[in-house]
Amino acid sequence: MQQQSRYRQLAPYVKQQWVTIAQAFVCTLIFVSFWPILAWLVGRMLTLLVQGEVWALAQLMVLIMLGFFIHKGGQYGQDSLMAKASLTVAYRLRRQVYAHLQRLSLGFFERSQTGDLTYRLTEDIDRIGEVVNKFFHDFLPSILQLVAVLTYMLFLNWQLTLAALVLVPLLGGLAGWFGERMLVFSRRSQNLVSDLSSLLTEVFSGIRLVRAFAAEDYEVERFSVEAERNRQARYSAAWLRAVQYPVVGLLYAFVVLLIFLVGSWQISIDNITAEQFGSYIAAALMLIDPVVHLTDNYSQFKEGEASVDRIFELMEVKPIVEERDNAITLPPISGKVEYRNVTFGYNPEEPVLKQLNLRVMPGEAIALVGASGAGKTTLVNLLPRFYDPDQGQILVDGYDIRDLSLRSLRQQIGIVPQETVLFSGTIAQNIAFGRKDFDLDAVVAAAQVANAHDFISKFSQGYHTWVGERGANLSGGQRQRLAIARAVLLDPKILILDEATSALDSESETLVQEALDRLMCDRTVFVIAHRLTTVRGADRILVLEQGQVIESGNHGELLAKEGRYARFYAQQFRQ
């Protein structure tokens, strides 16, 4: 069963531009109405030329130039207005798709390729904008031009016109055949370009690893394989277009020759004058351009349909974590957190957390310890609702977090990750991330708490220093202190520290730890750490294994138990 075209899903975006499109359509009518008039003028001009009436010919040429002026004015209005409308459609679609992606769950991005998403938001939406522009700027005027010119040709001589139309069904069938195959080739080509884009994003992001493992030749070979697949797919589409144009051209040439043959017969029986036939030939030649445009446009529409499919596939993805319609705005909290019988698994058949119960009081610092895969990061990722538990409840100050608006919940939870993410912008903008308008004095105060002010002040532009891509011009310790400053400015009552010092040298770790100690004051804190030196001061240490808490207590109590925590500690500090 053939899949229904998704072009109809573009209708709401196009309707928003109906005023601009209507204005463009008026210009199109002015532009198109000139063609039959021009055909008549050409026939008249040929007659005057043969008769040698120079003055009358000069007057007619002035009239023709005036007509061309109006004709080109209509063309300008059509082109400029449709460009405005189509670009606005692309902008609004791109903005809505991007906003939709921002609402999708983390699991979607973990499964998706960054390069593919980037390609859809850029190239695919640009192609959709081009299709909208083509339809109103090229396809529709070509249809109107065909109708206008054919009507004039029927008026001149219906027998000739029937001869011209004899191959129309064949042309239509060929256009459909070429278009359907172009859709198949375009889908394949665009998917392969997305794969290529994803490969590039992956390699450039991990270029240090490529260098470290001397894997340059390996990556070149991998890229060559993907590039060759892309070349073959694009060549298939180009070959199809190369076949389409001469086939259509040959058919049209046959039609023109047929018109001359039938026309000579019509002249011989006095059914048409030489002037009328000259005008008729001029009109027939005016059909070449719209016919070529229509066949070409149809193929491009089929190429664009692949892009429309890919965009609306994204729009149909539903977030796993959704905010309820009557979501409550979380008021300022004290920081009490409770997990009640929480079970969760990224794959429901393989739970990471199993019937977990935990109560954390306001201002309490909880450290999470355990082997990789024990569920430490999963436990804290459930708190800001990056995921929802399969069973059980998570409460913040007595509120079930599924009843809360996501924004009000997440604004009261600060996260300092192991690997700080910085965006292109100034240092101040990175510290105040998520705030369009911010107080620079507050940013400076936050940086001072985070032990970041001194190194920021050494830059020539201070807080207005531009941060390179991913903060490559800053050290690991500097990036981490900016992340702490970001959390300080947010001033959350709940704080999550996910391996915040694990990748730092001793000097940087000392500065970062001092900043963290200040940040943790009077907050409910969850600390994930493999270095047990960073968790000894926690109020409570939880040892997780296979999604369950197997030990709980402070540092001294757990050492005294001589259980799993004591063995971890002994392994790390064994001489």
Joined tokens for residue 323:
């905010």
Looking at residue 213, its pLDDT comes to 63
Q: Are 61 and 174 in contact (CB under 8 A)?
A: no
CA distance 2 to 133: 26
Which amino acid type is present at position 107? G
Tokens 């499919």, residue?
309
- Beta strands 337-344 and 391-396: pairing type? antiparallel
pLDDT in tens, 255-277: 777 777 777 777 777 777 766 77
Residues 483 and 534 in one domain: no
pLDDT in tens, 118-150: 888 888 888 888 888 888 877 888 788 778 777
Phi, psi of 390 (to 5 degrees): -75, -35
Q: Is the pLDDT of residue 495 over 70?
A: yes
Instruction: Identify the CATH number of the domain in which residue 363 sits.
Output: 3.40.50.300
Which amino acid type is present at position 292? V
Q: Are 149 and 226 in contact (CB under 8 A)?
A: no
Q: Are 447 and 453 in contact (CB under 8 A)?
A: yes
Plot region of 375 (φ>0 → left; ψ -120 to 50 → alpha; else → beta): left
- The Cβ of residue 379 has, within 10 Å, a number of other Cβ atoms equal to 27
CA distance 476 to 572: 23
pLDDT in tens, 432-443: 887 878 888 988
| Region 366-374 average pLDDT | 86
Local confidence band at 344 (pLDDT 50, 70, 90 cut-offs): very high
CA distance 47 to 43: 7
- The Cβ of residue 121 has, within 10 Å, a number of other Cβ atoms equal to 18
Average pLDDT, the chain: 80
Which among 339, 342, 329 has a CA at the least distance from the CA of 404?
329
Residues 427 and 406 in one domain: no
Looking at residue 393, its pLDDT comes to 94
Looking at residue 575, its pLDDT comes to 42
Q: Is the pLDDT of residue 52 over 80?
A: no
DSSP string across 101-134: HHHS-HHHHHHS-HHHHHHIIIIIHHHHHHHHHH
Whether 238 is covered by a domain: the verdict is: yes
Residues 147 and 217 in one domain: yes
CA distance 202 to 218: 14
Residues 207 and 224 in one domain: yes
Which among 115, 133, 108 has a CA at the least distance from the CA of 313?
108
Between these two residues, 459 and 34, which has the higher pLDDT value?
A: 459
In sign, the C-alpha dihedral spanning 258, 264, 269, 274 is positive
> What residues are paired with 496 via a beta bridge?
415, 526
CA distance 104 to 98: 10
Q: Is the pLDDT of residue 222 over 90?
A: no
pLDDT in tens, 497-534: 887 665 555 556 677 777 777 778 888 989 887 777 77
Radius of gyration over alpha carbons of the chain, in Å? 35
Count the domains in the chain.
Answer: 3
Residues 43 and 163 in one domain: yes
Looking at residue 2, its pLDDT comes to 46
Residues 376 and 288 in one domain: no
SS3 423: coil
Local confidence band at 78 (pLDDT 50, 70, 90 cut-offs): confident
Whether 328 is covered by a domain: the verdict is: no
Local confidence band at 191 (pLDDT 50, 70, 90 cut-offs): confident
Looking at residue 333, its pLDDT comes to 92
Q: Is the pLDDT of residue 329 over 90?
A: yes
Q: Is the pLDDT of residue 311 over 60?
A: yes
Looking at residue 210, its pLDDT comes to 67
Residues 135 and 241 in one domain: yes
Q: Is the pLDDT of residue 39 over 70?
A: no
Residues 433 and 387 in one domain: no
Looking at residue 573, its pLDDT comes to 65
Tell me the residue range of the domain where 77 lies. Answer: 10-315
Which among 186, 163, 174 has a CA at the least distance from the CA of 249?
174
Looking at residue 399, its pLDDT comes to 94
CA distance 124 to 305: 10
Whether 64 is covered by a domain: the verdict is: yes
Local confidence band at 117 (pLDDT 50, 70, 90 cut-offs): confident
Looking at residue 342, its pLDDT comes to 93
Plot region of 359 (φ>0 → left; ψ -120 to 50 → alpha; else → beta): beta
Through-space distance between the first and last CA atoms of the chain, rounded to whole angstroms: 70
Residues 403 and 425 in one domain: no
Local confidence band at 1 (pLDDT 50, 70, 90 cut-offs): very low
Whether 512 is covered by a domain: the verdict is: no
SS3 393: strand
Whether 511 is covered by a domain: the verdict is: no
Kindly report the three-state secondary structure assignment for every residue of 11-37. Answer: HHHHHCCHHHHHHHHHHHHHHHHHHHH
Of 378-382, 426-430, 504-508, the least confident: 504-508
Local confidence band at 396 (pLDDT 50, 70, 90 cut-offs): very high
Whether 277 is covered by a domain: the verdict is: yes
CA distance 366 to 371: 17
Report the interhelical angle of 18-51 vs 274-286 (nearest 10°): 150
Residues 272 and 395 in one domain: no
Which amino acid type is present at position 193? V
Q: Is the pLDDT of residue 567 over 50?
A: yes
Whether 510 is covered by a domain: the verdict is: no
Q: Is the pLDDT of residue 281 over 80?
A: no
Whether 263 is covered by a domain: the verdict is: yes
In sign, the C-alpha dihedral spanning 137, 140, 144, 150 is positive
Joined tokens for residue 134:
């083509």
Joined tokens for residue 223:
């890229």
Most confident range (mean pLDDT) of 196-210, 388-402, 450-464 is 388-402
Residues 405 and 440 in one domain: no
| Region 178-190 average pLDDT | 70
Which amino acid type is present at position 380? V
Report the residue count for the chain: 575
Q: Are 455 and 480 in contact (CB under 8 A)?
A: no
Residues 224 and 358 in one domain: no
Of 107-111, 402-406, 429-433, 449-453, the least confident: 107-111
**Which residues make Cβ contacts (< 8 Å) with residue 465, sequence separation at least 6?**
426, 427, 456, 459
Record the pTM.
Answer: 0.73
Looking at residue 166, its pLDDT comes to 65
Looking at residue 370, its pLDDT comes to 85
Which among 274, 330, 324 has a CA at the least distance from the CA of 156?
274
Instruction: Identify the CATH number of the domain in which residue 230 sits.
Output: 1.20.1560.10
Percent of the chain with pLDDT over 90: 11
